[in-house]
Structure 1
Amino acid sequence: MSSKPDKEIKSLVERGSDRSTPGSRGLFILFRALDLPIQYGILSSRSLGAPLVNALGGAHLVPSGPPVYLFGTSIGLPPQRAILFGMAVGSFVKQTHWATSISQEPVTPISAGFVAALNTIFNSINTLLFTNTATSVLSYASVGWDETRLPVQTIVGVVMFIVGMGLEWVSEMQRLKFKKDPKHKGKLYTGGLFGLARHINYGGYTLWRAGFAVAAAGWVWGMVVGGWLVYDFAKRAIPELDAYCGKRYPGQWAQYKNSVRSKLLPFIL
């Protein structure tokens, strides 16, 4: 009888291959770009999400307060909504950079569509929850319905977003620089932020995703999103990557796991 760890774990990433897939990468970027008008449409005064919110028995929250100006031009969204839209833009920029400059493995059309759709779903749930009066962070914040005053949840969410995005982005750039040096061929990267947690890029993603959720719908929703991502990484992505690295860097990976005990975030997970 084969044990569970012996079973092959399916991955969205074709690890160990340098096959070029520009078409799939372009498809991923296109799908991620389509997320921006969707999020703006949900957050704007002509909300795309209002029919859905009302159909589910909610009450659509109409934007309040003057719009934010950027470089002298109004973006048509009050501060709270501008922040949420900025998070959607930030996630698009980061993931576009990942697809064009960081990722070295092939991307299939299926994985490109799936990952892009998953991120759009996460973003859309956040913005829809914000625009529903019963679930919006404004419904129980001390600022009332004034979108020009930022509740503590939004401030904390922004900090989580910035820190998490930084951890994911910087750690991946550090690893890329190491891999591009020919003298490091066949060596496992264990420096930089990866010296604090073995999968700190996953931890960063979890943190900024949870921060986005907190800024949109508060503490409980942030914990749900963060908890689900931790569970998913622990049960799917991390075991798959552990199995791959254990085969590619047998001695190095075992030593690395022994010296760096944290998986996602140092001293936490």
Structure 2
Amino acid sequence: MSSSPPKKGLVIQRGSTERSPVSKALFVLCRALDLPLQYAILSSRSLGAPLINALGGTAILPPAGGHVYSLGLETNTGLGSGLSPQRAILFGMAVGSFIKQSHWVVAISQEPITPVASGFVGVLNTVYNTLNTLLYTNAATSVMSYAQATHGDETRLPIQTLVGVGLYVLGMALEWGSEMQRLNFKRDVRNKGRVYTGGLFGLARHINYGGYVLWRAGFATAAAGWMWGLIVGGFLTFDFVKRAIPELDEYCGKRYAQAWTQYKRAVPYQLFPFVL
């Protein structure tokens, strides 16, 4: 194993053992602030609807007084002033992303993160979530506008939402599960300086990144349908393959030397087993 100073300016200061509690607390705070914003867009007529209308769209109004107003139709949901099942799923996805990413930065990542990176990544994930919820509340882009079988009833989930939930759960399981497996490996002092090649990482070298792509694409699909899901998934895949993975491969090649080269030969897939 060879050692080299961590690169400056990266989101994660790879190779550093410094602690960054303030930066990590900032990250969790930024991610936590996302939740009331998403809830306000999905549940309140004072935020999402006026913004959509101001941009020239037609807003799908949220539940009010136990009814769902969707695409000009009114359906009794029995949910009072809460979220419809469709909106509750989207909000639940935002909550899940907050929990997972906060757990990663606090308990899984063993390397420091800069304050600037904390704020940037926190805001970036809020942008992703907000695009999803706003596109859902806009009649022209909402998954409900393509789900004719539901007739605008937000209590009847369209196939895009069901597929999106499946992708979200699978992606979360792959990302979270693989990172926990690697963390348990690293906690064993006998493995110090060794590259982890087992568990889910035996299927793809960066399967945690692949998991992120899947759950982000699932969230997008559940909100605004197939095309938006493909756009989000395609963009993230491109970004990982062209930027993040080469950066990490360079670092791991220096850190693990021949062991990393052998790992790449044994596991040729980068993000998705048997695909890419």
- When normalised by structure 2's length, the TM-score is 0.90
Q: Distance in 1 between matches of 2:111 and 2:218?
A: 28
Please, which of 127, 133, 139 is the counterpart of residue 127 of structure 1? 133
Q: Could you tell me how far 1:12 is from its partner in structure 2? A: 1.4
C-alpha root-mean-square deviation of aligned residues, in Å?
1.4
Sort the Cα spacing of 1:115 and 1:61 in 2 relative to 1 into closer, same or farther, 3 A.
same
Does residue 1:164 correspond to 2:163, yes or no?
no
Task: Measure the CA separation in 1 of the matches of 2:146 and 2:252.
Answer: 46
Contact 2:18 2:112 in 1 (8 A): yes
Q: Report the Cα distance in structure 2 between the residues aligned to 1:20 and 1:212, rounded to whole angstroms.
A: 32
Rounded to whole Å, the distance in 1 between the matches of 2:81 and 2:97 is: 18
Distance 1:20 1:57, change over 3 A: same
SS of the equivalent of 1:138 reads helix
Partner of 2:150, secondary structure, is coil
Separation in structure 1 between the aligned mates of residue 46 and residue 28 of structure 2, nearest angstrom: 24
Matched, 1:76 2:76: no
Structure 1 position 66 matched with structure 2 position 77? yes
* Equivalent residue number for residue 142 of structure 2: 136
Q: How has the CA–CA distance of structure 1 residues 232 and 240 changed in structure 2, closer, same or farther, with 3 Å as cutoff? A: same
Give the letter aligned to residue 36 of structure 1.
L
Structure 2 equivalent of residue 38 of structure 1: 37
Rounded to whole Å, the distance in 2 between the matches of 1:75 and 1:247 is 56
1:155 alignment partner, one of 153, 157, 162: 162
Q: Does 2:213 match 1:206?
A: yes
Corresponding letter in the other structure for 2:178: S
User: Cα distance, 1:10 vs. partner?
Assistant: 5.7
* Residues 67 and 76, structure 1, Cα contact 8 Å, conserved in 2: no
Segments of 4+ moved more than 2 angstroms = 8-11, 65-68
Answering whether residue 108 of structure 2 is matched by residue 109 of structure 1, we say no
1:55 maps to which residue? Answer: 54
CA contact (8 A) 1:153 1:219 kept: yes
Superimposed CA distance per residue, residues 207-263 of structure 1 (whole angstroms, 9 cap, x where no aligned partner): 000000000000000000000000100111000000000000010100000010110
Contact kept in structure 1, 2:11 and 2:117, CA below 8 Å: yes
SS of equivalent residue, structure 1 residue 76: coil
**1:267: how far off?**
1.1
Matches within 5 A, 1:248-263: 248-263=255-270
Deviation at 1:125, TM superposition (A): 0.2
Structure 1 residue identity aligned to 2:138: N
Output the amino acid matched with 2:132: N
Tell me if structure 2 keeps the 8 A contact 1:67–1:77. Answer: no
Quick check: 1:180 aligned with 2:187? Answer: yes
The residue type paired with residue 186 of structure 2 is K
Q: Offset at 1:46? A: 2.3
Q: Which runs of 5+ in 1 are unaligned?
A: 1-7, 69-73
8 Å Cα contact 1:67/1:79 also seen in 2: no
Q: Percent identity?
A: 65
Q: Secondary structure at the match of 1:133?
A: coil
Deviation readout 1:157-191 (Å, 9 max, x if unpaired): 00000000000000000000000100001100000
Is the 8 Å Cα contact of residues 10 and 240 (structure 1) preserved in structure 2? no
Q: Which amino acid aligns with 1:40?
A: Y
**How big is each residue's C-alpha offset from its partner over 1:34-72, in whole Å with a ceiling of 9 and x where there is no partner?**
00000000000425122221121100101214265xxxx
Aligned with 2:236 (options 229, 237, 256)? 229
Any unmatched runs of 5+ in structure 2?
1-6, 63-67, 69-75
* CA shift for structure 1 position 264: 0.4
Match of 2:222 in 1: 215
Does the 8 Å contact 2:49/2:61 carry over to 1? no
